[in-house]
A and B are shown apart, each in its own frame.
Chain A
Amino acid sequence: MSQAEREPIRVPIRKDTDLTAVRQHVRALAQRTGFGLVQQTKLVTAASELARNTLLHGGGGAAEISVVHGSTGPGLSVSFVDSGPGIPDVELALSDGYSTAGGLGMGLSGSKRLVQEFAIESVPDGGTRVTVISWADPYSARQGLR
């Protein structure tokens, strides 16, 4: 498993303008970590989806962004943490088209497709932590070429 480089950057998610801050921080760090444009865009989009979930379903929380190093090079780990009601059925929530907030139901399931690693820890009434990892070079990462 990868190891975090330094203390994560913590961005609060309390209102919808905070989503802009999350996107900007993730993009800036992805650029500095050597992400290509498409890989950057996918991660920033996933972060935007997940941060909105934190706001709408978790009642607010924070994003924690850190640079990680795996066997195939650097990447970014972004966790979205809230102390909301939790996700009762994670498998159902991850299916395409499932929505409780009147959205398109693509946020959670779609963002999973945009990153290389995706984990949800959710406790009923104890909050949710969604962690995604995206590698700067996902192709060599997938094939173990580096």
Chain B
Amino acid sequence: MTSPSTIPVLDLGGLLLVSIQGELPDESAIALQEDVTAAVANTGSRGLIIDISTLDVVDSFLARVLAEVAASSRLLAARTVLVGMRPSVAITLVELGLTLPGMDTARTVTEAAASFGVTIEQADRTGRGTP
């Protein structure tokens, strides 16, 4: 058993949102996989959104973890959408030979949520919700 990851898994009412922040050591990536899969099962969510917009590197290890999270979530009847991949990361992953065929992608969390029929209200730049 690995120690729990420090990455919060947010429940947005039927959708789970995971925002991966900064550098992710291998052990945390494996812990994340266990945490997220457990959260999918416990909440009965049909959707999992993984936001990787802060990541400046995704290597084959992390790509495999992401693909396995998506595969195990699919077995638990949840669809995974990967959000916010940087263009430089996309180019590098393709050249590395990793195109993550089992994962849906979206540009933003809002767009990903919309693909599940969930509307997320846009906060304006001051952080307040729109009136």
Contact = CB atoms under 8 A, between A and B. Distances in A.
19 contacts: A16-B26, A20-B23, A24-B23, A27-B57, A38-B92, A41-B56, A41-B57, A42-B91, A42-B95, A45-B58, A52-B59, A104-B98, A109-B97, A110-B95, A111-B96, A113-B96, A113-B97, A114-B95, A114-B96
B116 interface: no
Given A16-B26, A40-B88, A103-B64, 12 more contacts: A16-B27, A17-B25, A19-B26, A27-B56, A38-B87, A38-B88, A41-B91, A41-B92, A42-B91, A48-B61, A49-B59, A113-B95
Contact of B25 (A19, A24, A109, A110): A19
Given A20-B25, A23-B23, A110 B61 contact: no
Interface in A75-134: 96, 103-104, 106-107, 109-111, 113-114
Interface of B: 23, 25-27, 56-61, 63-64, 86-89, 91-92, 95-98
A16 B59 CA distance: 14
Contacts of A17: 25, 27
B94 to A, nearest CB: 10
Contacts of A40: 88
Contacts of A27: 56-57
B96 A52 contact: no
Contact of B61 (A41, A44, A52): A52
Contacts of A44: 56-57
